[in-house]
Amino acid sequence: VRAGQPIGEPGGFVSAAVHAPISGKVTAVLPHLHPAMPTLVPSVVIETPEGESPDGVSWPAASDWSALTVDDLRARIRDAGVVGLGGAAFPTHVKLTPPKEKRIDALILNGVECEPFLTADHRLMLEQADAVIGGARILMKILGLPKAYLGVEKNKPDAIALMSGRCRSAGAPVEVVPLKVKYPQGAEKQLIKAILDREVPSGGLPFDVGA
């Protein structure tokens, strides 16, 4: 297999494709300890011979994503195996397919670090601002929304200034919302309350309040 090559297809709607992280030979498929949870999970063992090229396969880029249909965009996200990085690895294409009876009118991008001292979101905004804005445009098309919000803590003034300026210059309908620095501001329910002043009901999900 080559790095980036699909090696596992989704087994259901709430499931994601798995791709080879390295190039090499599949030597076993067996239960292995999960790196983040104390449980055994089915795993593919790939060994790379010494001197083997680490080059992988490139993901075919769309020449113009805006020309793709909403279903095509969701399918590409599903096939790419994009999942949330919060620990549950929840498939992104599922989040972008809310129940038909739920009316979504707000998209929130979370630029708030989930824990003190983390800087991943901060660096992403400073170093990949245009990609963040491009991703927001794709999500807005999928959800049929004219506007998005980007929540950023006030202790990141450089990110707030940069993202605000890039959104204006690109004509992107993304409102950068400076937020009070407090824990757990980055949790989705707190973020929705801080930006939209909507309270997700106990046991509910963001789409229950249109977010």
pLDDT for position 35: 83
What's the Cα-to-Cα distance from 48 to each of 35, 54, 75, rounded to whole Å?
20, 8, 30
pTM listed for this prediction? 0.87
pLDDT for position 36: 80
**pLDDT surpassing 90 at residue 176:** yes
Crossing angle of helices 129-143 and 157-170, in 10° steps, is 60
Tell me the three-class secondary structure of 123-191, residue by residue. Answer: HHHHHCHHHHHHHHHHHHHHHCCCCEEEEEECCCHHHHHHHHHHHHHHCCCEEEEEECCCCCCCCHHHH
Looking at residues 33-49, what average pLDDT do you find? 89
Looking at residues 63-91, what average pLDDT do you find? 90
pLDDT for position 53: 67
Q: Which one of 5-9, 55-59, 142-146 scores highest in mean pLDDT?
A: 142-146
With cut-offs at 50, 70 and 90, classify the pLDDT of residue 54: low
Looking at residues 75-89, what average pLDDT do you find? 87
User: What's the helix, strand, coil split of the chain in %, to 5?
Assistant: 30, 20, 50
